[in-house]
A and B are shown apart, each in its own frame.
Chain A
Amino acid sequence: SAVISQKPSRDICQRGTSLTIQCQVDSQVTMMFWYRQQPGQSLTLIATANQGSEATYESGFVIDKFPISRPNLTFSTLTVSNMSPEDSSIYLCSVEPQADTQYFGPGTRLTVL
Protein backbone atom coordinates (compact mmCIF):
# COMPACT_ATOMS: atom_id res chain seq x y z
CA SER A 1 0.00 0.00 0.00
CA ALA A 2 0.97 3.65 0.03
CA VAL A 3 0.26 6.59 2.28
CA ILE A 4 -0.29 9.77 0.33
CA SER A 5 -0.69 13.27 1.68
CA GLN A 6 -1.77 16.37 -0.14
CA LYS A 7 -1.41 20.03 0.76
CA PRO A 8 -3.45 22.10 1.06
CA SER A 9 -6.54 20.06 1.87
CA ARG A 10 -8.70 22.92 0.71
CA ASP A 11 -8.37 26.51 -0.40
CA ILE A 12 -10.49 29.41 -1.56
CA CYS A 13 -8.77 31.54 -4.18
CA GLN A 14 -9.48 34.64 -6.21
CA ARG A 15 -9.75 34.39 -9.96
CA GLY A 16 -6.56 35.16 -11.82
CA THR A 17 -4.32 33.76 -9.11
CA SER A 18 -2.44 30.45 -9.04
CA LEU A 19 -2.36 27.62 -6.52
CA THR A 20 0.27 24.91 -6.16
CA ILE A 21 -0.87 21.57 -4.77
CA GLN A 22 1.65 19.22 -3.23
CA CYS A 23 1.53 15.42 -3.24
CA GLN A 24 3.82 13.41 -0.98
CA VAL A 25 4.10 9.61 -0.99
CA ASP A 26 5.69 7.46 1.71
CA SER A 27 7.50 5.26 -0.82
CA GLN A 28 9.32 5.70 -4.10
CA VAL A 29 7.09 5.38 -7.15
CA THR A 30 7.78 5.71 -10.83
CA MET A 31 4.56 7.32 -11.94
CA MET A 32 2.28 9.79 -10.24
CA PHE A 33 -1.11 10.68 -11.67
CA TRP A 34 -3.11 13.87 -11.25
CA TYR A 35 -6.89 13.81 -11.56
CA ARG A 36 -9.58 16.45 -11.41
CA GLN A 37 -13.07 15.90 -10.06
CA GLN A 38 -15.48 18.68 -10.87
CA PRO A 39 -18.49 19.16 -8.59
CA GLY A 40 -20.82 16.16 -8.75
CA GLN A 41 -18.72 14.54 -11.46
CA SER A 42 -16.35 11.63 -11.82
CA LEU A 43 -12.57 11.78 -12.00
CA THR A 44 -10.76 12.89 -15.13
CA LEU A 45 -7.05 12.39 -15.65
CA ILE A 46 -5.10 15.62 -16.05
CA ALA A 47 -1.59 14.27 -16.56
CA THR A 48 0.91 11.56 -15.77
CA ALA A 49 4.13 12.64 -14.05
CA ASN A 50 7.23 10.52 -14.48
CA GLN A 51 10.29 11.48 -12.49
CA GLY A 52 13.00 13.00 -14.68
CA SER A 53 10.85 13.78 -17.68
CA GLU A 54 8.10 16.11 -18.78
CA ALA A 55 4.60 15.25 -17.67
CA THR A 56 2.23 13.77 -20.24
CA TYR A 57 -1.03 15.70 -20.49
CA GLU A 58 -4.44 14.40 -21.51
CA SER A 59 -6.51 16.01 -24.19
CA GLY A 60 -7.99 19.25 -22.93
CA PHE A 61 -5.23 19.92 -20.40
CA VAL A 62 -2.13 21.96 -21.19
CA ILE A 63 1.13 22.58 -19.41
CA ASP A 64 0.70 26.35 -19.30
CA LYS A 65 -2.50 25.95 -17.31
CA PHE A 66 -1.47 22.96 -15.17
CA PRO A 67 2.33 22.90 -14.83
CA ILE A 68 3.60 19.84 -12.97
CA SER A 69 6.88 19.23 -11.22
CA ARG A 70 8.31 15.85 -10.26
CA PRO A 71 11.63 16.52 -8.56
CA ASN A 72 12.02 13.06 -7.00
CA LEU A 73 10.36 9.67 -6.66
CA THR A 74 8.19 10.61 -3.65
CA PHE A 75 6.92 14.09 -4.48
CA SER A 76 5.04 16.02 -7.12
CA THR A 77 3.28 19.36 -7.45
CA LEU A 78 0.43 20.49 -9.65
CA THR A 79 -0.14 24.19 -10.19
CA VAL A 80 -3.51 25.53 -11.29
CA SER A 81 -2.65 28.78 -13.06
CA ASN A 82 -4.66 31.89 -13.77
CA MET A 83 -7.66 30.37 -12.06
CA SER A 84 -11.28 30.91 -12.97
CA PRO A 85 -14.43 29.66 -11.22
CA GLU A 86 -14.51 26.75 -13.70
CA ASP A 87 -11.37 25.41 -12.03
CA SER A 88 -13.27 24.82 -8.81
CA SER A 89 -12.80 21.09 -8.28
CA ILE A 90 -11.20 18.46 -6.14
CA TYR A 91 -7.69 17.67 -7.34
CA LEU A 92 -6.31 14.24 -6.47
CA CYS A 93 -2.98 12.57 -6.97
CA SER A 94 -2.54 8.82 -7.16
CA VAL A 95 0.27 6.29 -7.32
CA GLU A 96 0.61 2.61 -8.12
CA PRO A 97 3.26 1.17 -5.79
CA GLN A 98 2.28 -2.42 -6.62
CA ALA A 99 0.89 -3.93 -9.76
CA ASP A 100 -2.52 -2.70 -10.80
CA THR A 101 -3.65 -1.12 -7.51
CA GLN A 102 -3.73 2.66 -7.41
CA TYR A 103 -3.92 4.59 -4.19
CA PHE A 104 -5.28 8.09 -3.98
CA GLY A 105 -4.44 11.06 -1.84
CA PRO A 106 -7.18 12.72 0.23
CA GLY A 107 -7.65 15.41 -2.40
CA THR A 108 -7.43 19.19 -2.46
CA ARG A 109 -10.77 20.96 -2.62
CA LEU A 110 -10.35 24.19 -4.56
CA THR A 111 -12.93 26.94 -4.75
CA VAL A 112 -12.30 29.87 -7.07
CA LEU A 113 -14.32 33.02 -6.51
Chain B
Amino acid sequence: SQQGEEDPQALSIQEGENATMNCSYKTSINNLQWYRQNSGRGLVHLILIRSNEREKHSGRLRVTLDTSKKSSSLLITASRAADTASYFCATQGNSGNTPLVFGKGTRLSVIA
Protein backbone atom coordinates (compact mmCIF):
# COMPACT_ATOMS: atom_id res chain seq x y z
CA SER B 1 0.00 0.00 0.00
CA GLN B 2 1.20 3.50 -0.67
CA GLN B 3 -0.89 5.13 2.00
CA GLY B 4 0.66 8.41 2.90
CA GLU B 5 1.33 10.18 6.10
CA GLU B 6 0.14 13.66 6.77
CA ASP B 7 1.35 16.13 9.27
CA PRO B 8 0.35 17.69 11.38
CA GLN B 9 -2.53 15.46 12.46
CA ALA B 10 -4.24 18.53 13.88
CA LEU B 11 -3.67 22.22 13.34
CA SER B 12 -5.31 25.15 15.08
CA ILE B 13 -4.81 28.70 13.79
CA GLN B 14 -6.38 32.12 13.99
CA GLU B 15 -8.52 33.49 11.21
CA GLY B 16 -6.36 35.31 8.67
CA GLU B 17 -3.29 33.17 9.25
CA ASN B 18 -1.92 30.73 6.72
CA ALA B 19 -2.25 26.98 7.19
CA THR B 20 0.26 24.50 5.81
CA MET B 21 -0.34 20.77 5.68
CA ASN B 22 2.13 18.18 4.48
CA CYS B 23 1.71 14.79 2.90
CA SER B 24 4.18 12.02 2.16
CA TYR B 25 3.67 8.90 0.13
CA LYS B 26 5.59 5.74 -0.60
CA THR B 27 5.52 4.75 -4.26
CA SER B 28 5.55 6.43 -7.66
CA ILE B 29 2.40 8.29 -8.62
CA ASN B 30 0.59 9.71 -11.60
CA ASN B 31 -1.00 12.49 -9.60
CA LEU B 32 -1.76 13.69 -6.11
CA GLN B 33 -5.05 15.24 -5.07
CA TRP B 34 -6.25 17.15 -2.03
CA TYR B 35 -9.74 16.81 -0.60
CA ARG B 36 -11.65 18.54 2.16
CA GLN B 37 -14.17 16.87 4.42
CA ASN B 38 -16.51 18.78 6.70
CA SER B 39 -17.69 17.01 9.84
CA GLY B 40 -17.52 13.47 8.50
CA ARG B 41 -19.55 14.22 5.40
CA GLY B 42 -18.66 13.69 1.72
CA LEU B 43 -15.33 14.73 0.30
CA VAL B 44 -14.88 17.84 -1.79
CA HIS B 45 -12.16 17.80 -4.44
CA LEU B 46 -9.86 20.80 -4.00
CA ILE B 47 -6.95 20.49 -6.39
CA LEU B 48 -4.97 17.98 -8.43
CA ILE B 49 -1.27 18.14 -9.21
CA ARG B 50 0.33 15.79 -11.70
CA SER B 51 3.66 14.09 -11.21
CA ASN B 52 5.35 16.34 -13.78
CA GLU B 53 4.16 19.50 -12.04
CA ARG B 54 5.87 21.17 -9.10
CA GLU B 55 3.39 23.80 -8.01
CA LYS B 56 -0.21 24.68 -8.61
CA HIS B 57 -2.53 27.45 -7.44
CA SER B 58 -6.27 27.68 -7.09
CA GLY B 59 -7.67 30.72 -5.35
CA ARG B 60 -6.30 30.72 -1.79
CA LEU B 61 -4.81 27.25 -2.25
CA ARG B 62 -1.24 26.51 -3.22
CA VAL B 63 -0.02 22.96 -3.68
CA THR B 64 3.55 21.83 -4.18
CA LEU B 65 4.83 18.42 -5.17
CA ASP B 66 8.34 17.06 -4.74
CA THR B 67 8.49 13.64 -6.37
CA SER B 68 12.11 13.13 -5.33
CA LYS B 69 11.06 13.37 -1.69
CA LYS B 70 7.63 11.83 -2.33
CA SER B 71 5.97 14.69 -0.56
CA SER B 72 3.40 17.40 -1.13
CA SER B 73 2.18 20.42 0.78
CA LEU B 74 -1.09 22.30 0.80
CA LEU B 75 -1.06 25.95 1.79
CA ILE B 76 -4.27 27.78 2.56
CA THR B 77 -3.70 31.52 2.72
CA ALA B 78 -5.73 34.02 4.71
CA SER B 79 -7.71 31.28 6.40
CA ARG B 80 -11.36 31.68 7.35
CA ALA B 81 -13.51 29.98 9.95
CA ALA B 82 -15.27 28.19 7.07
CA ASP B 83 -11.98 26.46 6.23
CA THR B 84 -12.35 24.39 9.40
CA ALA B 85 -12.40 20.80 8.16
CA SER B 86 -10.29 17.70 7.68
CA TYR B 87 -7.93 17.75 4.72
CA PHE B 88 -6.74 14.59 2.99
CA CYS B 89 -4.16 14.00 0.32
CA ALA B 90 -4.76 11.10 -2.04
CA THR B 91 -2.48 9.58 -4.63
CA GLN B 92 -3.32 7.85 -7.86
CA GLY B 93 -0.76 5.46 -9.21
CA ASN B 94 -1.99 5.24 -12.78
CA SER B 95 -4.04 7.67 -14.82
CA GLY B 96 -7.65 6.97 -15.49
CA ASN B 97 -10.21 5.25 -13.35
CA THR B 98 -7.99 3.80 -10.68
CA PRO B 99 -8.68 4.05 -6.97
CA LEU B 100 -7.14 6.67 -4.72
CA VAL B 101 -4.89 5.93 -1.78
CA PHE B 102 -5.55 8.37 1.02
CA GLY B 103 -3.30 9.86 3.64
CA LYS B 104 -4.37 9.98 7.25
CA GLY B 105 -5.55 13.57 7.10
CA THR B 106 -5.03 16.82 8.94
CA ARG B 107 -7.80 18.28 11.06
CA LEU B 108 -7.71 22.06 10.67
CA SER B 109 -9.46 24.38 13.11
CA VAL B 110 -9.64 28.06 12.21
CA ILE B 111 -10.61 30.20 15.16
CA ALA B 112 -12.48 33.41 14.51
Q: Which residues of A contact B (CB under 8 A)?
A: 30-31, 33, 37, 41-45, 48, 90, 92, 94, 96, 99-107, 109
Q: B43 an interface residue at 8 Å Cβ cutoff?
A: yes
Provide the residues of chain A in CB contact with B105, threshold 8 Å. 42
Please tell me if the beta carbons of A100 and B104 are within 8 angstroms of each other in the complex.
Answer: no
Please tell me if the beta carbons of A104 and B43 are within 8 angstroms of each other in the complex.
Answer: yes
Q: Which residues of B contact A (CB under 8 A)?
A: 3, 30-31, 33, 35, 40-45, 48, 50, 88, 90, 92, 95-97, 99-105
Number of A-B contacts (CB under 8 A): 58
User: What's the nearest-Cβ distance from chain B to residue A18, in Å?
Assistant: 23
User: What's the nearest-Cβ distance from chain A to residue B69, in Å?
Assistant: 21
Provide the residues of chain B in CB contact with A37, threshold 8 Å. 40
Please tell me if the beta carbons of B43 and A100 are within 8 angstroms of each other in the complex.
Answer: no
User: What's the nearest-Cβ distance from chain A to residue B106, in Å?
Assistant: 11
Provide the residues of chain A in CB contact with B103, threshold 8 Å. 42
- Closest-by-CB residue of B relative to A107 is B42
CB pairs A–B below 8 angstroms (13 shown): A30-B97, A33-B99, A41-B104, A43-B43, A43-B90, A45-B100, A96-B97, A99-B96, A100-B31, A100-B96, A104-B42, A105-B42, A109-B40
Provide the residues of chain B in CB contact with A101, threshold 8 Å. 33, 45, 48
Task: From known contacts A42-B103, A42-B104, A42-B105, infer whether A106 and B41 are also in contact, taking CB-CB under 8 Å.
Answer: yes
Please tell me if the beta carbons of B100 and A102 are within 8 angstroms of each other in the complex.
Answer: yes
Please tell me if the beta carbons of A100 and B99 are within 8 angstroms of each other in the complex.
Answer: no
Provide the residues of chain B in CB contact with A94, threshold 8 Å. 43, 100
Provide the residues of chain B in CB contact with A99, threshold 8 Å. 95-96
